[in-house]
Amino acid sequence: MHRREFTVHTRGREFCEITRDLAAVAQGSGVLEGLCSVFVPHTSASLLPGENRDPSVRRDLEAFMRRLAPDGDPRYEHDAEGPDDMPAHIRAMLTQSSLVIPVADGRLQLGTWQGIYTLGTSDESA
């Protein structure tokens, strides 16, 4: 077993890829076979597996999230930290706060074009 924490600082609302960070942790852990458990301890940030080859996939997902939970929607009561606060809570609730990725031969077992992303608000680290 190996445990490691790290912080991801985003540059605003974005899908921030953390695949390389996770792969480095797995490879440096000394664990050859097992599971990589990833958890983000924020109520307005989340984790998503997704395609990492074609950037248009990420742009389409970002556009979908903006339509699904738009910033500044007057129907939201909760806006204590700004107009993106409640939408970030909704997006986090609809996605995942944890992932489990198999490890074999000391490497994450992801698909050929599969990456891991964080999604958070503009002023948060995950």
When pLDDT is averaged across residues 97-108 and rounded to a whole number, the result is 97
Domain that holds residue 90: 15-119
Residue with tokens 């994450």: 108
What's the pLDDT tens digit per position in 34-57?
A: 999 999 998 989 999 999 999 999
How far apart, in whole angstroms, are the C-alpha atoms of residue 25 and residue 3?
A: 9
Residue 52 placed within a domain:
yes
Tokens of 8: 């991801």
**CATH number of the domain within which 103 lies:** 2.60.120.460
Residue 1 placed within a domain:
no
Residue 93 placed within a domain:
yes
Residue 9 placed within a domain:
no
pLDDT of residue 122: 55
Residue 8 placed within a domain:
no
Residue 108 placed within a domain:
yes
Q: Looking at the 3D structure of the chain, how many domains does it have?
A: 1
Residue 32 placed within a domain:
yes
Burial class (CB in 10 A: 0-12, 13-18, 19+), 54: exposed
In 3D space, the residue among 98, 102, 72 whose CA is nearest the CA of residue 87 turns out to be 72
Residue 53 placed within a domain:
yes
How far apart, in whole angstroms, are the C-alpha atoms of residue 113 and residue 110?
A: 8
